[in-house]
Amino acid sequence: MIRTILGDLWTSRELFLQLVRRDLKLRYRQAIMGFAWALFLPVLTISAGLILRMAFERNGGSGTAPSLGGIAIKSWAWAFFAGAMNFATVSLLSNASLVTKIYFPREVLPLSAIVAQGVDSAFGLAVLLLVGYWLGFHWSLQLFWLPLLIIALLLLTTGLAFLFACANLFFRDVKYILQVLLTFGIFFTPVLFEPAMFSTQVGHLLMLNPLTPIFEGLRLTLVERTSLLHALYTPSGILVWSPWELVYAFASGIACVLVGMVAFRRSAAHFAEYY
């Protein structure tokens, strides 16, 4: 089935590109902020991180505060994840007239929403890297981990987006559930803090969230310049990173994509009847 889906997607690649172009054009047409949108959410989250950092520093001393660079890159990743999930989840409903009238592989709808958000986020990342020096980014060979981590993030987002998009067609309140998950998800995903700030048990629990290793990986490669191939401990002996985290992130990402694709394709036959 996966092979059929990939084959279908390859055949409709031109449609896919047209839909991405449409989504991008529409996002900036008659919009006051234009491409500033790509920076809006990360800047907001970084500011929130700054507030948090001030509170940490005041109460626990300067060593305990999360690094600004870490917050910046993780906020960027969160902004992509949240944006992609939002657009992809409603993609089937906002293209109702197409789905009920014309046949094409329905996968292109959530995928083009994700890619359109991806193009947006790519600009955001470029800006972030440009001002990286002041945020505390350090350039090193570890930067090569960046694409790999982004691929893991894309896999996870795509899988979840497929699941949410078809679920939202059958149950219209799924998009509200998603809103709640995204609002509170930022407390269970280490965007504004780091798992090593907690006890070992809580840290491990946080690491169960498949986004955590991706986010921490981004911080470690860009800010701490550490290789993701070695385990890393805090001076007090709390595990910060283990190479297995990377395996976990990829395994959950791939599992998510496979489950998402199959579930989406199996329910796609009935999409047109549920509008």
Partner 1 sequence: MAGQVLFDAVWKRFHRGLAHDSLRDLIPALARRLRPGAATAPPELRDGDFWAVRDVSFEVNPGQALGIIGGNGAGKSTTLKLLTKVLMPTRGMAQITGRAGALIEVSAGFHPDLTGRENVFLQGAIMGMPMQLIRERFDEIVDFSGVSAFIDTPVKRYSSGMNARLGFSIAAHLEPEVLIVDEVLSVGDAEFQTRAFGRLRNLVRSNIPVVIVSHQLDRIVELCTDCILLQSGQAMFHGPPQTAVQEYLRGTSARGLSLEEATSAGIGILELTAPEPQPVTSGSSFTCRVIGEVTAAEPPPHVELGIAIVDAATNQQMYWTWFRSIGAHPTRQGKFTADFEIQANMPAGLYRIDTSVWHEQRQVIIGQGPNRIFQVMPGRPFFGTHQLNAAATIS
Q: Which spans of this chain sit near partner 1 (rule: CB under 8 A)?
A: 12, 14-15, 17-19, 22, 25-26, 29-30, 97-104, 170, 269-270, 272-274
As measured in angstroms, the least distance from the Cβ of 113 to partner 1 is 14
As measured in angstroms, the least distance from the Cβ of 269 to partner 1 is 4
Return the number of the residue (94 or 140) whose C-beta is nearest partner 1.
Answer: 94
Return the number of the residue (112 or 157) whose C-beta is nearest partner 1.
Answer: 112
| Closest among 97, 85, 76, 7 to 260, alpha carbons compared | 85
Return the number of the residue (180 or 269) whose C-beta is nearest partner 1.
Answer: 269
Return the number of the residue (143 or 272) whose C-beta is nearest partner 1.
Answer: 272
As measured in angstroms, the least distance from the Cβ of 191 to partner 1 is 33
| d(C-alpha 239, C-alpha 231), whole Å | 8
Return the number of the residue (101 or 230) whose C-beta is nearest partner 1.
Answer: 101
Tokens of 242: 């283990």
As measured in angstroms, the least distance from the Cβ of 229 to partner 1 is 43
| d(C-alpha 94, C-alpha 99), whole Å | 10
As measured in angstroms, the least distance from the Cβ of 66 to partner 1 is 41
| Closest among 252, 251, 74 to 160, alpha carbons compared | 252
Q: Which residues pair with 239 in a beta bridge?
A: 233
Q: Is 263 exposed, middle or buried (0-12, 13-18, 19+ CB in 10 A)?
A: middle
- Per the CB < 8 A criterion, the answer to whether 165 and 109 are in contact is yes
* Helices first, then strands: H and E counts in the chain: 12, 2
| d(C-alpha 223, C-alpha 124), whole Å | 18
